[in-house]
Amino acid sequence: MMKKSIKILLLAIVLFSINLSDVFAKDPETLGDLRKTYNDLLYEKQQSDNKSAQAKKEQAEKEAAIRQAQKDLAVAEMEQNEAEAAIEESNLKIESLKKESEKVLQYMQQVQGQNAYVEYVTGATSMTELITRIEAVKQVSDYIQTTVDSLEEEIKKNEQLVKDLKDKQTRLDNQIVSYEETIKKLVANAAEFDKYSNSIEDKLTSAKKILDENVRICKENIGKTDDSVKLSDCSKVPVNGTWLKPLKYGVITSTIGYRWGSYHNAIDIGGNSEGTPIYAAAAGQVASIMNKTSCGGNRVYIYVTVNGVKYTTFYYHLLKINVKVGDIVDQNTVIGTVGGGRSTSSAYGGYDTCTTGAHLHFGVAKGWYPYHVGSGYVITPPGFPNREGYRFTSRTDFYKS
């Protein structure tokens, strides 16, 4: 059963820090336990999917903001170019007007000392014409100065506009960089949530199959399907007195324990080619099946009882599975065939990343676990030593230390 503190953690964003194999490797005793496990997994997946969708939505918003900022940047660059062109044009006009003003002033200075200016002013036939002529000279000079002042003011405005536009471009550039960094994080978050969601997809599917199958079995056997129904009351798992090897021949190529940074929860049995029959090591009921998982390939989990003790046996890297959930198997049942070689290994283009050669990953755990057996429940399979190189030549070979 999932503890309340773990459930709270699952609601938080630190979903990925939880070891799911430990959370769900509990021995379900009732239909309610199975239903709760399924509902918890479903809720987790929905939460992860929602967070992934939110991250993708925010990513789309930031991408739209970047596109708008890029458009604004293009407009700002165009406006800056226009302002710089206007400044250049104004400078040319100022230079031209200054030259004209200088010519007028020079002319006025020259004629003031000669009869020409006096003649122009005093040549008026009336007082009104005299005043008009004097004012005309003054207006020409004032017009030029006023125009120059106006153009210089326009230049100041344009220079400020250029500065403002450059500042705007800097802000937009920084904004785009910031948005791009945010998008990188959002993409990474969405990928992590998708990865997490996919990682529990197999568990969710398996949990649903297990729940449905046990509901069916309990309904058929005792006519009850409420949460309080004990799985042991519904079970048809046969009782065994001994164990047999799952293969007629083999050699241990890898043992139980930590390797390559993770816990290896079973022994690996090599020495057989793909397609070699795999037998149930003990009679029992098929608890769950997982197809083409990325690590372990095709898997079969079987509930068994040996000498009154409940165990789960599990078989990974199968090339073919011959049973289905709910089947009752005995020790002569061929549950599947050896895989893990060219047909399934990712090294040869297959789907199983955790194998590079044909072998059987065979494990036993105390208690009944429909999938993902935790390291604390795993035992060395009875009749085997936990050491590499051990070889057997029949199913009845029983190793004794």
Per the model's pLDDT, the better-predicted residue between 368 and 246 turns out to be 246
Quick one: the chain helix, strand, coil %, rounded to 5? Answer: 50, 20, 30
pLDDT over threshold 80, residue 158? no
Is the entire prediction scored with pTM above 0.85?
Answer: no
Contacts (Cβ under 8 Å, ≥6 apart) of 229: 30, 31, 32, 218, 222
**Average per-residue pLDDT for the chain:** 79
Q: How far is CA 144 from the centre of its chain?
A: 70
For 346-353, what is the mean pLDDT? 89
- pLDDT category at 208 given cuts 50, 70, 90 is confident
Residues in the chain: 401
Low-confidence winner among 140-149, 150-159, 216-225, 313-322 (lowest mean pLDDT): 140-149
Vertex 374, ends 388 and 201: CA angle to 5°? 110
pLDDT over threshold 90, residue 164? no
pLDDT over threshold 80, residue 394? yes
- Adjacent-strand bridge partners of 252: 269
Per the model's pLDDT, the better-predicted residue between 190 and 280 turns out to be 280
pLDDT, tens digit, for every residue of 50-101? 887 887 888 788 788 778 878 777 777 787 788 778 778 877 877 777 777 6
Per the model's pLDDT, the better-predicted residue between 269 and 27 turns out to be 269
pLDDT of residue 126: 61
pLDDT over threshold 90, residue 18? no
> Is the backbone of residue 263 left (phi > 0), alpha (psi -120 to 50) or beta?
beta
Low-confidence winner among 39-53, 183-197, 352-366, 371-385 (lowest mean pLDDT): 183-197
For the chain, give the percent of residues with pLDDT over 90: 29
pLDDT, tens digit, for every residue of 221-262? 889 999 999 887 887 778 788 899 999 999 999 999 988 778
- pLDDT category at 11 given cuts 50, 70, 90 is very low
